[in-house]
Structure 1
Amino acid sequence: MAKAVLGIIGGSGIYDLPGLEAVEEVRVASPWGEPSDVLRRGRLGPTEIVFLPRHGRGHALSPSDINYRANIDVLKRVGVTDLVSLSAVGSFKGELSPGTFVLADQFIDKTYLRQPSFFGKGCVAHVAFSHPVAPLLQKRLAAALEAEAIPHAVGGTAVCMEGPAFSTLAESLFHKAQGWDLIGMTSMPEAKLAREAEIAYAFVGMVTDFDAWHEEVGPVDVAQVVHHLHANADKGRRLVARLARDFPAEHEPCPIHSDRALEHAVITAKEHRDPALVAKLDAVAGRVLAR
């Protein structure tokens, strides 16, 4: 079994991880370009942590400008086995009010400007993605939220829109009518790339607003989001600290095989694979491409 290394991607409002001990900043080169920021590697209690602010410190990157492939690639290169994504989101349910943390486990991808895969022409792969979230990691997050008495819900569907503008009223009402739970701008293709990289992934939607559908509250704007970001950021750090305190020393094999997702996924015959693309895939898919 591999040593467990817990990766944390911090969303809006979470640009650092106070309490991280023996911290070192690690700059990792990626063939996929520049990641959002340097990695901060350290320990919380007994657990090795690697932290990456998704938008960069100072929030320099919009959702469409994030290099999701480079982010996942560098996390894989430093040994991350389990990855928790913290994201600010809007809610389509009255009971999922600002301040609630939602462990969404399904996604609707409505993005269109982003590179959605490490694979492509010259090396084709199709990973199973019917269940995007690693259940054991989600279960541990739920236990940590319960222990910290943070209002939360387990399960749900999150829509990922391109942004950076917020929803129109018509879009918000449509998404709500579908019975979906959350909307954000960063879960995709992040979750899909983590699956391709064989990293167990779980999503924490930190509710800041009701998108545009709520007649009494009114449409979301930055002021409304920022109002709730600070309290959510503090709860997010508490969640991570509790999760790390009880995290296993060895990576738990994923029951849905998210950590072995490439086992039978690469379909391009070895003699037809593009050597340049294969070289870029050394960290993500080296385990299977070397055979």
Structure 2
Amino acid sequence: MQGEIKIGIIGGSGMEDPAFISKHTSKSVSTPYGDPSSKLGLGVIADIPVVIISRHGKGHSINPTNVNYRANVWSLKEEGCTHILAATACGSLRERIEPGHFVFPDQFIDRTTKRISTFFDGSDVQHVSMGNPFSLQLRNCLVNSCNELGFAYHDGGTVVTIEGPRFSSKAESMLFRSWGCDIINMSTVPEIVLVRELEMEYQSIAMSTDYDCWHES
């Protein structure tokens, strides 16, 4: 990675005071789009400045539909973040992606229905390319780390994001498999779209928690 870097980390509950950050402070912010899901955690990891936000709020109190994605992403941009790492739990749509495996997707399919997915909903209309939405640079760093640590992972794959909070039906799960999807979650979209609109790099760190309901297990 080149130049001035600040990493934004979008995580789940329990991220408000992570022990792996040095020089940790917290900061309350507001944005033109309302308040973000949580306070920002500021600090340093391996000499790199980081900003952490809890996507679903304290105690996982905000469901996926009601997350203020625009406020979350805007607040990270305002703090000077250049790259975003986004943790997400996912269901596996492939036998080879076992529970406990990491997946670093390189494509997404949007099946959300109720979320605001752009900053450009006024007169300033812009069209952002999503041909290669995820960051190859960040993905390579994650792959190298997994190789060093011996973690099971999958480099690339397609994530389908559903609206939630319900899980998919078996018919939907089978449909997503037929489309070539590899994992399913409820958070990547519109997060990735908003990050790319603000010209930051984005990479999901997906953890397979189980097989989706297509699987007989």
TM over 0.5: yes
Q: Is the 8 A contact 2:13 2:57 kept in 1?
A: no
Q: 1 CA distance for matches of 2:27 and 2:199? A: 22
Q: 1 CA distance for matches of 2:179 and 2:35? A: 37
**Alignment partner of 1:61 is 2:62:** yes
Q: Is the 8 A contact 1:15 1:58 kept in 2?
A: no
The residue that corresponds to 1:252 in the other structure is none
Number of aligned pairs? 216
Cα deviation digits, residues 124-160 of structure 1 (max 9, x gap): 0101111111111111111112112111010000000
The residue that corresponds to 1:284 in the other structure is none
Q: Give the C-alpha shift of residue 177 in structure 1.
A: 2.1
Q: 1 CA distance for matches of 2:117 and 2:33? A: 12
CA 1:128–1:122: 2 relative to 1, 3 Å: same
Q: 1 CA distance for matches of 2:215 and 2:187? A: 22
Cα deviation digits, residues 196-253 of structure 1 (max 9, x gap): 01111111111001111111x1xxxxxxxxxxxxxxxxxxxxxxxxxxxxxxxxxxxx
The list of structure 1 runs, each at least 4 consecutive aligned residues, that deviate by more than 6 angstroms after superposition, is none
The residue that corresponds to 1:192 in the other structure is 193
Q: Which amino acid aligns with 1:164?
A: P
| Residues 92-131 of structure 1: pairs in structure 2 closer than 5 A | 92-131=93-132
CA 1:102–1:81: 2 relative to 1, 3 Å: same
Alignment identity in percent? 38
CA 1:178–1:14: 2 relative to 1, 3 Å: farther
Q: Give the C-alpha shift of residue 45 in structure 1.
A: 2.2
Q: Give the C-alpha shift of residue 121 in structure 1.
A: 2.6
User: SS of the counterpart of 1:170?
Assistant: helix
**Alignment partner of 1:89 is 2:86:** no
Q: Give the C-alpha shift of residue 15 in structure 1.
A: 5.6
Q: 2 CA distance for matches of 1:9 and 1:141? A: 15
Cα deviation digits, residues 29-57 of structure 1 (max 9, x gap): 20011101000000112111111111112
Q: Is the 8 A contact 2:118 2:194 kept in 1?
A: yes
User: SS of the counterpart of 1:175?
Assistant: helix
The residue that corresponds to 2:36 in the other structure is 35
The residue that corresponds to 2:169 in the other structure is 168
Q: Is the 8 A contact 2:13 2:59 kept in 1?
A: no
Q: Which amino acid aligns with 1:176?
A: R
Q: 2 CA distance for matches of 1:92 and 1:53? A: 26
Bigger Rg, which one: 1
Structure 2 gap segments, 5+ residues each: none
